[in-house]
Amino acid sequence: MSKILFVVPPYNCWGVQIIGTWPPLQLAYVGTSAEKAGYEARIYDAMNKDRTFDDIRAEIERFQPDVVMAFDYLPVTGAISTATVPAALKALAIAKDVDPEIVTIIGGPLPTFLYADILTDPVNRLDYVVRGEMEETAEELLRVLAEGTSVDNVRGIAFLRDGEVIATPERPHIADLDPVVPAWHLLEWDAYHYNIEPWGRMASILTSRGCMMGCSFCSHRKFWRGTWRGRTPEVVIEEIRELVDVYEVEFITMIDPYPTCDRERWEHLLDLLIAEAMPVKILMETRVEDIIRDADILPKYHAAGVIHLYMGLEASTDEMLASFNKGTDMDMNKRALDLARENDLTTEASFMIGGPDETWESVEKTIEVAIALNPDIAVFPVITPMPFTPIHEEYKDRIRVTDWSQYNLATPIVEPHAMTIDEVNKALARCYMEFYRHKAREVLALPDGFKRRYMLSAFKEMMAGYRDQFTALGITMPMLPDGMLSGSGPN
């Protein structure tokens, strides 16, 4: 039996990883493909188990795989990531150091779009790029590799032959997602947990794939070719039941970019979750428009176990929203947050900063709007022109960082006309300091209960992470009010 090792390389950034560790769902899906192709499969998660490249080398030497595969992966949402690609390529190069006969493969958004750049860089010791949706492509490629036959007829891959980049024809999307299941048994579940009270084991799921929206900073539309496909709600419920009953999962993050696209399907899924009443809490992302659309069924969100609702508000003016092609306006943002608040849903909202036209005045405006809209949690991602998104071309003359490992939504990449990169870092710190200075007293004044404990726990983790980040940059973060950091985590 041939063997394949899936590697999640060591990578850390101070954003989303502060509050939890999420399993590499995409590799779990491809693990099923590998097993269907007859391989013994293993996932080695150096990122979430705090392992090193030396540990990866030791694992490769011990397991002696025929194939090592990595993925363009960051937790929560996969199709905007880029930052882990250098680390993934380094892990694959280590595999070649151990044994040059090991076949190395990478997949994910950036490799899908920039496969030629990756393959022709002599530093990278890469055999194949899996382009687009991976499951069917990976299964066929692995079968062919095990048989020792030609890869030329495998659709959706790219490779070098005699120094020439060969890209086979694009593979159609999987027609029916219901039979596509992750190999949950390959994950070491003790590594995945939510760090926010009431704490617990964490899983990620996809109830759908794709997005047809045109946000200029995001790759979802391009990666999924402007399509959207949903899994049958009954199948999703069976997956959640397995995670709860077999793997003792207590928190699930729906990492779909757009889980609520089909209202009828979405409401049916909510009804099933309510009927099942499983002991699991759900975190999710959706669009402002759908929260407004779902005003009459928002009580079902809460009854179904949704405790954390993320919305990409993204901007502080209608003009900025229009420039991002969001399809929303400030009135809609306020309405969506108000509706969620009225239905006791903890809200997280993002407000991007750091574009070419950023100024200290526009930063203050963003802070003012974030405080006025008053989500429970605010995050301030740095505008990051991923090299395969519309804004990359628009912003290219202001891009000052080309190291993909820094494209993590937390590191300034663009130098505004009126600010320096260093000033963007200081502005980012100011956004967090000012928002949470106002928010802290409100949270401390909440009556004791789930939301107060949840919010205090979240603030403790977030502000500790932010303080470490900004202190490393030479920026002083103030202490929170007395009592904000009281209590301890699960460890």
The order of strands in the sheet holding 164-167 is 40-45, 3-8, 67-71, 103-107, 128-130, 157-161, 164-167
pLDDT confidence of residue 46: 96
Tens-place pLDDT, residues 173-229: 999 999 999 999 999 999 999 999 899 999 999 999 988 888 888 878 888 888 999
Whole-angstrom Cα distance, residue 379 to residue 435?
Answer: 9
Q: CA-to-CA distance for 291 and 347, rounded, in angstroms?
A: 12
Both structure tokens of 110: 């950036």
Closest-CA residue to 136 (of 186, 173, 185): 173
Q: Give yes or no for residue 485 having a pLDDT over 50.
A: no
Which pLDDT score is estimated for 478?
A: 58
**Per-residue pLDDT for 323 more than 50?**
yes
State the pLDDT at residue 79.
46
Of the candidates 490, 483, 424, 425, the residue with the CA atom closest to the CA atom of residue 459: 483
What is the pLDDT at residue 458? 87
Handedness of CA 389, 71, 128, 61 (dihedral sign): positive
Closest CA to 304 of 325, 336, 282, 285: 282
Q: Using one digit for the tens of pLDDT, what is the confidence trace for 243-286?
A: 999 999 999 999 998 999 999 999 999 999 999 999 999 999 99
Give the mean pLDDT of 104-115.
94
Model pLDDT, residue 480: 53
Dihedral pair phi/psi, residue 261, rounded to 5°: -55, -50
What is the mean pLDDT of the segment spanning 377-396? 90
Closest to 385 measured CA to CA, from 369, 351, 409, 364: 409
pLDDT for 481 equals 53
Q: Where are the beta strands (DSSP E) in 147-302?
A: 157-161, 164-167, 193-194, 200-205, 208-210, 228-230, 251-254, 281-286
Query: Quick one: what percent of the chain has pLDDT higher than 90?
Result: 75
109, 173, 183, 457, 463 from 141: Cα distances, Å = 18, 16, 18, 45, 45
pLDDT band at 230 (very low <50, low <70, confident <90, very high): very high
Burial of 377 (C-beta count, 10 Å sphere; 0-12/13-18/19+): buried
Pick from 134, 115, 125, 65: which is nearest to 90 by CA? Answer: 125
How far apart, in whole angstroms, are the C-alpha atoms of residue 472 and residue 466? 10
pLDDT for 490 = 46
Which residue from 67, 336, 352 is spatially nearest to 216, judged by alpha carbons? Answer: 352
Q: Of 118, 96, 95, 120, whose CA–CA distance to 107 is shortest?
A: 118
Question: What is the token pair recorded at 321?
Answer: 């929203």
pLDDT at 408 over 90: no
In the predicted model, is pLDDT for residue 350 greater than 90?
A: yes
Q: 């039941």: which residue's tokens?
A: 241
- The amino acid that residue 90 corresponds to is K
Three-class SS state of 316: coil
Average pLDDT score over the chain: 91
Burial tier of 91 (Cβ tally within 10 Å: 0-12, 13-18, 19+): buried
In this predicted model, what pLDDT tens digit does every residue of 267-277 receive, in sequence order?
999 999 999 99
Residue 441 has a pLDDT of 87
C-alpha torsion angle, residues 83, 28, 309, 11 (rounded to 10): -30
The whole-number pLDDT of residue 216 equals 82
Alpha carbon 426 to its chain centroid, in Å, reads: 25
Mean pLDDT of 291-312: 96
- Tokens 């802290």 found at: 440
Residue 446 one-letter amino acid: L
Lowest mean pLDDT: which of 19-33, 327-341, 462-476? 462-476
Mean per-residue pLDDT, 450-458 = 90
Nearest CA among 434, 472, 471, 441 for reference residue 456: 441
Average pLDDT over residues 22-47: 96
